[in-house]
Amino acid sequence: MNRLTLDAAGYGDLWAGSDATFALATLSLEKKDRNRLDWTMEQFNDQQLKALAAWSWPR
């Protein structure tokens, strides 16, 4: 296991139970971008839409 899975301040603590759509599209690890619901698909540029699509499953 790596440190992030053991550390309470790891990514799980930041994202657990939160919407990460905006952060995934903008490749942000900022706490302010978790659970953001004040966005629309139209505001994302092509690069951000591709980044968001890369997180979808199945590909």
Range of the domain at 20: 3-54
Residue in this structure with the two tokens 């550390």, named with its chain if needed: 7
Q: Is 43 domain-assigned?
A: yes
Say what the pTM is: 0.74
pLDDT, tens digit (0-9, with 9 covering 90-100), for 16-49: 889 999 999 999 989 999 999 999 999 999 999 9
Q: What is the pLDDT of residue 59?
A: 64
Q: Is 59 domain-assigned?
A: no
Total tally of structural domains belonging to the chain: 1
